[in-house]
Structure 1
Amino acid sequence: MADAKVIPFDDDRPRARRRPARAEGEAAAVRALPGPKEALEGPAEPPAPEPGPETAVGGGSGWERRLAGGLAFLRRRITGEYEVDEFGYDEELTDQVLMSLLRPLYEKYFRVEVKGVENIPAEGGALIVANHSGTLPLDGLMMQVAVHDHHPAGRHLRLLAADLVFVLPVVNELARKAGHTLACAEDAERLLRSGEIVGVMPEGFKGIGKPFGERYKLQRFGRGGFVSTALRAGVPIVPCSIVGAEEIYPMLGNAKTLARVLGFPYFPLTPTFPWLGPLGALPLPTKWTIQFGEPIPTDSYAPEAAEDPMLMFNLTDQVREQIQHTLYKLLVQRRSVFF
């Protein structure tokens, strides 16, 4: 039988943790009763506390806090005390670094105006379907900043990217860290079922590499794979229309032979690229508008509805027509390409 545990009483406590007793013979302080006037006026206001070290540091500019936060961030990076999900998404790096790098381009250069962000659900999964344009996929990055900075819940957009993104050495790592993943139905469905906001641009290279003369004319949306994914996950589809990206690199031609040699889907020829060298890669400072349309619910359909080709065609066409109609409406309302 185990020995009984002895619980110490007050006299057995360590001296450091005992409450100090009043010295013998020390008179207790006598507090005078308030007079009639003081009772009517109420208790006097307590004196303001003297500024301590924390108040002094917190007062002035916040560069000390920013410096401390930056040093703590670097320490976590060096020691590996940070988390990534199964797709390689690093939320802290995205918020602290990647978003901070994209934000000047978003706010100052393209001056993006966002409409209808309240149509994105506050919680749960949703599939955002947008048009694709601009020769380089800056529209997807700007849409990611728009969702993160303007949504009331500050949600993160997980973009589905093409295979080419994940074979480029540096781009591959940055894309994974930013939450992007391969544009396949399996990954998209797993993200949607886990309650993530997923973004897809079904036009693919056909949309981003189309000539300038076909700007804002939506290309084919594939076979409707994004619709079947949304139906299986039971999440709404949010159409998104982006105006302004078509003009950042006006594509006047396509050097197909050079594109095949380099392994690219196209090699753009613009008024500035490749004639001005690296300077020609600078996008034109157009004015952007991103509008999120009303969500199209899919939870009323049975899971086996994802195998119905006619339903896939109708829903795909509905999403495409809604995006195209919104594009035309935004173009009519636009005063200028640059203002």
Structure 2
Amino acid sequence: MSPATGSEAHTVNGAEAQVIPLHGGGRVSPPATPPSAAPSEAPVVAFPATTATPASAPAEPELLSDDVRSALTFLRHRLTGDYTVDEFGFDAELTETLVLPPLRALYQKWFRVDTFGVENLPTAGGALLVSNHSGTLPLDALMTAVAVHDETGGRHLRGLGADLVFKLPLIGSFARKSGQTLACTADAERLLEDGELVGVWPEGFKGIGKPFSARYKLQRFGRGGFVTAAMRTGVPIIPVSVVGAEETYPKLGDIRVLARVLGLPYFPVTPFFPLLGALGAVPLPTKWTIEFGEPIRTDEYSPDAVDDPMLVFTLTDQVRESIQHTLYRRLAQRKSVFRG
């Protein structure tokens, strides 16, 4: 053994090869050299044999996040035309990829929405969701759609919108693609028969356009067309109460001349709009709650019950009173507009 290296010398085919043990006292035999191989004068280092197990191997890094992968899939489907749109113009993939993510950020981070009564939302089959309407701009409808989607595991709320929504450039087309349709009994019944969750805001522009002094006081619910749609299809009516939307854009006044020129039901004046221009259109970060009330059954009525105006009025009033009572209860429990 050489005192300098601590290695042993072996003769292989006339050539002296040095085998350097790597683990102290262990003795490692040199590999057999084929007769045809040329004599090697370089030291041969023998590494101990190891068996790699899949469990010990480091996991390969994820190259693409789920969001990036989803975006790439969406682009590929757009380029190839491999996507579906239903008879109302609803594009589910576009809604999932482009519409819901920014709305969800507003829902979670800005308004910090708390939901109650989500167990009253059916996981299958049709239902008519009837909600109060407020806030100068219809953000309450959008936030309710996010709540329904996320709390039911992906079901979409098919909102019934006013004529004006679908007459506006770009907005009308985008509303169609995101699942909204015209607020008429025929469309509502077709959607309910197909097992969809349909949203209606009976107060309409009277609700979102009312002054701040009338906040959380429900306006008239119309003639009860939504009740007849539910009765004809036998689906439950779910009252929905939204607290927090009234204070996002406190409406202090109305510039009626501008409203007539622009063809709008009102042109609002808030503490920040139009004084601060586009900056005044940023909603205040109020704390929201959305409560889904107990379903009101309609499948127990006979088919000709829709022709009874008193019954339709009674059910309409029952839904309205349920929402109003819940609003007052939630307001009594609220300690702060911005903290809930």
The two structures have a TM-score, normalised by structure 2, of 0.82
How many Å separate the matches in 2 of 1:256 and 1:247? 22
Residue 238 of structure 1 corresponds to which residue in structure 2? Answer: 238
1:49 corresponding residue in structure 2:
54
CA distance in 2, matches of 1:217, 1:65: 44
Structure 2 residue identity aligned to 1:105 = L
| Aligned match of 1:324 | 324
How do residues 145-160 of structure 1 correspond to structure 2 at under 5 angstroms? 145-151=146-152, 153-160=153-160
Q: Residue 303 of structure 1: CA displacement? A: 1.6
Structure 2 CA distance for aligned equivalents of residues 230 and 254 of structure 1:
35
Q: In the aligned structure 2, how far is the partner of 1:66 from the partner of 1:330?
A: 36
Structure 2: how far apart are the matches of 1:64 and 1:250?
40
Match of residue 195 from structure 1: 195
Shift of 1:257: 1.9
Equivalence for 2:117: 116
Q: 1:65 offset after TM fit, Å?
A: 5.0
Distance 1:48 1:141, change over 3 A: same
Task: Output the CA distance in 2 between the equivalents of 1:60 and 1:336.
Answer: 46
CA positional deviation for 1:156: 1.0
C-alpha distance 217-65 of structure 1, shift in aligned 2 (>3 A): closer
Instruction: Check if 1:133 corresponds to 2:134.
Output: yes
Distance 1:220 1:64 in 2: 48
Deviation at 1:95, TM superposition (A): 0.9
Paired residue for 2:259? 259
Q: Could you tell me how far 1:298 is from its partner in structure 2?
A: 0.2
Q: Compute the TM-score of the two structures, normalised by the length of structure 1.
A: 0.82
Q: Secondary structure at 2:290's aligned position in 1? A: strand
Q: State the identity %.
A: 65
Name the residue aligned to 1:63.
64
Mapping 1:1-339, distance limit 5 Å: 48-49=53-54, 59-61=60-62, 63-64=64-65, 66-151=67-152, 153-339=153-339
Cα distance change, pair 328–66 in 1 and its aligned pair in 2 (3 A): closer
Please say if residues 71 and 97 of structure 2, whose CA atoms lie closer than 8 Å, have aligned partners that are also in contact. no
Q: Which amino acid aligns with 1:247?
A: E
Query: Partners in 2 of 1:266 and 1:188 — Cα distance?
Result: 27
Distance 1:197 1:284 in 2: 29
SS of 2:190's equivalent in the other structure is: helix
Q: Name stretches of at least 5 consecutive residues in structure 2 with no aligned partner.
A: 1-50
Q: Could you say what secondary structure the match of 1:169 adopts?
A: coil
Write the distance in 2 (CA, Å) between the matches of 1:67 and 1:300.
48
Work out the CA distance in 2 between the residues paired with 1:278 and 1:70.
30
Which residue does the alignment assign to 2:40? none
- In the aligned structure 2, how far is the partner of 1:79 from the partner of 1:331? 51
Q: 1:253 to 1:91 in 2, by over 3 A?
A: same
Cα distance in 2 for partners of 1:154, 1:75 equals 22
Shift of 1:68: 3.5
Partners of 1:68 and 1:231 lie apart in 2 by: 43
Shift of residue 62, structure 1, vs aligned partner: 5.8
Match of 2:54, as an amino acid? P
Structure 2: how far apart are the matches of 1:255 and 1:94? Answer: 34
Secondary structure of residue in 2 paired with 1:296: coil
Q: Give me the whole-angstrom Cα distance separating, in 2, the residues matched to 1:233 and 1:75.
A: 39
For residues 148-207 of structure 1, the C-alpha deviation after alignment (integer angstroms, 9 at most, x for no partner) is 0112x4311100001111011111121111100000000000000000000000000000
SS of 1:145's equivalent in the other structure is helix
Counterpart residue number, 2:29: none
SS at match of 2:170: helix
Which amino acid counterpart does residue 76 of structure 1 have in structure 2? Answer: H
What is the root-mean-square deviation in Å for CA atoms of aligned residues?
A: 1.7
Q: CA offset at residue 69 of structure 1? A: 3.3
SS of corresponding position for 1:128:
strand
For residue 255 of structure 1, report the CA deviation from its aligned partner. Answer: 1.2
- Following superposition, the deviation at residue 143 of structure 1 comes to 0.1
| Structure in which a larger fraction of residues adopt helix | 1
The equivalent of 1:3 in structure 2 is: none
Letter in 2 for 1:221: F
SS in 1 for 2:159: strand
Report how many residues are paired: 289
In the alignment, the residues of structure 2 paired with residue 224 and residue 48 of structure 1 have an alpha-carbon distance, to the nearest angstrom, of 69
Cα distance in 2 for residues equivalent to 1:86 and 1:157: 16
2:61 aligned counterpart, secondary structure: coil
Larger Rg: 2
In the TM superposition, residue 48 of structure 1 has moved relative to its aligned partner by 3.3
1:67 to 1:104, Cα distance in 2 relative to 1, 3 A = closer
Superposition deviation, residue 47 in structure 1: 7.4
User: What residue in structure 1 maps to residue 35 of structure 2?
Assistant: none
